[in-house]
Amino acid sequence: MEFKEVVNKRHSVRNFKSDEIPVTVLQDIVRTAQRSPSWENSQPWNVYIATGETLKKIKEIWVGKYKEKVKGSPDMPTGHRTNFSERSQQNMKDFMGAVAEYSGDPEIKHFLKMNEVLFNAPALVYLTLGKGHTGWPIYDLGGFGLALMLAAKDQGIDSIPAYEIVKFPAELRPLLSVPEDEEIIMGIALGYAAEDGINDFSSSRLPLEEVLTIKQ
Ligand SMILES: Cc1cc2nc3c(=O)[nH]c(=O)nc-3n(C[C@H](O)[C@H](O)[C@H](O)COP(=O)(O)O)c2cc1C
């Protein structure tokens, strides 16, 4: 695919088919993401991918957590909505409103259910960083994550980056063999989009003038 086509076609998919992604394709996607820039080429990222039996266990744990109404306890604190700028808070509100309107359900039950079942994804990617970092590696990891999603899209594989995937790190750590000195920062679900209206939802973006300043 052309670069712009890859960028424009990538969007968050929230319901995947059960079709597996071949290991060689997963390796290729991560290899491409490794071309991402990082502070002094520090390459701070570690990548763990859950498929098969490991993924099955993770999904079972999530079902149990939801049953018991356990609150997420991520390695990277979520903070409060008011930690976001007012503009971002408005964007988040608009996004949730748009999802509700699109799905014709103010309670967005299907959207929430798909989160709970980890989007039925056949592969979950976990991105970790060594503990005690300055904050700058988060920038590197974000770039890495996007490169990974674009590399996936280029291979016809859909994705969603989601907090949902990393909200119970204590349970993930032993299953993925993540050492204690690494933080599980972010998760990305990969797979092939299922036939589901939720996958056709398109999120909006601010007008360019609101985010771009060019001084001459
Ligand atoms: C850091 C981060 C966390 C996210 N967490 C979730 C999540 O837990 N559940 C979810 O459904 N979507 C989640 N998303 C997806 C965003 O809602 C989505 O990227 C945004 O609305 C823009 O839409 P698009 O990805 O389709 O372009 C997350 C995205 C990012 C970057």
Q: What is the pTM assigned to this prediction?
A: 0.98
Report whether pLDDT(28) > 90. Answer: yes
Burial class (CB in 10 A: 0-12, 13-18, 19+), 60: exposed
- Pocket test residue of 12, 15, 115 for ligand 1, highest count of atoms within 8 A of CB: 12
> Which candidate, 114, 115, 119, 187, places its Cα nearest to that of 148?
187
Domain ranges of the chain: 3-80+118-196
Ligand 1 atom closest to 164 (CA): 8
| Single-letter amino acid, residue 192 | Y
Q: How many Cβ atoms are within 10 Å of 17's Cβ, its own excluded?
A: 15
Ligand 1 atom nearest to CA at 186: 1
pLDDT computed for residue 139 by the predictor: 98
Closest approach atom of ligand 1 to CA 201: 26
* CA dihedral of 68, 177, 11, 199, whole degrees rounded to 10: -40
- pLDDT tens by residue, 90-137: 999 999 999 999 999 999 999 999 999 999 999 999 999 999 999 999
Give 208 Cα–ligand 1 centroid separation in angstroms: 20
* pLDDT at residue 1, rounded to an integer: 85
Instruction: Answer for the pair 160, 152: CB distance below 8 angstroms, yes or no.
Output: no
Q: Assign a CATH topology to domain 3-80+118-196.
A: NADH Oxidase (3.40.109)
Q: Taking Cα atoms as reference points, which of 163, 150, 148, 158 lies closest to residue 199?
A: 158
Residue nearest to atom 2 of ligand 1 (CA): 162
